[in-house]
Amino acid sequence: MSGLSPLSLVYVVLSYAGAAVFFGGLLHKLWGYAVTPNPLSIPVTPHPATMGGVVARNLINITLFADLFKGNRWTWAGGYAFHVILIAVFARHLRLFIHPVSPLLAQIQPVALLGAMLLPLPLIYLLIRRKAVDRYAWISSPADYFVLLLLLLIALSGLGLRFVNHADITGIKHFLLGLVMFSPVDMPPHPAFIIHFTLALMLAAYFPFSKLMHAGGVFFSPTRTMVDDPRERRHINPWAAK
């Protein structure tokens, strides 16, 4: 990393530290979910009685948020819109981390840009809803507002970088590719990019310790992954079987 400017050196170190916390924390949490014993059979009934049915139901829930739709359609509208738009934002940013960019990824960039432009709307909606609806405000903690505000700031700073205070996108891609390839180069000293990148690093470091881990935890929730067959099969505690 010799020859890097002091600013670049700081952000290269922060980037690798953030990536280590993100991936390390993610693996630690998922491993904890995977090895935690399930002493009781607690599927949320009615639930499929076969593993194939459980997989199919969870696939529908993960792709369409079906259970949330049944529970509260106003929350579903904001939450589902946010997650769909987030996929578009991911596709929008993916081009900055790979080279060459595939034709398919290049073709979907206009749609991905539209998604990025819409990202603040569901976040503002969810933020207002959490504050305005009494039952949500009652159970909300500062962490709930913090993560929504952090995501909103990332979205707004990204839009500012794209439409207000333009940065050298080639220099940004060169910097990000250098990080991915473990061959760091100087960071573009653009204030808007520095703010956006700093917020993204904060999110990466915060992710494994926040409620955002529901993205991985949903695959390990015993209420969702257990088969509803207590009448057909006796559930034995993992430690009782030894």
The amino acid occupying position 183 is S
What does each of the 242 residues of the chain score in pLDDT, given as a tens digit?
Answer: 668 899 999 999 999 999 999 999 999 999 999 998 887 888 888 888 899 999 999 999 999 999 899 989 999 999 999 999 999 999 999 999 998 999 999 999 999 999 999 999 999 999 999 999 999 999 999 999 999 999 999 999 999 998 998 888 999 999 999 999 999 999 999 999 999 999 999 999 999 999 999 999 889 988 888 888 877 877 777 677 66
Cβ atoms < 10 Å from Cβ of 174: 16
Phi, psi of 184 (to 5 degrees): -60, 145
Cis peptide before 100 (omega within 30 of 0): yes
DSSP per-residue codes, 40-102: S----SS--SSHHHHHHHHHHHHHH-HHHHHH-HHHHHHHHHHHHHHHHHHHHHHTTTSSSPP
CA atoms of 179 and 38, how far apart (whole Å):
40
Give CA separation, 84 vs 55, 88, 116, in Å.
21, 7, 11
Cα torsion 37, 43, 48, 51 to 10°: value is -10
pTM, two decimals, is 0.89
Residue with tokens 């916390």: 21
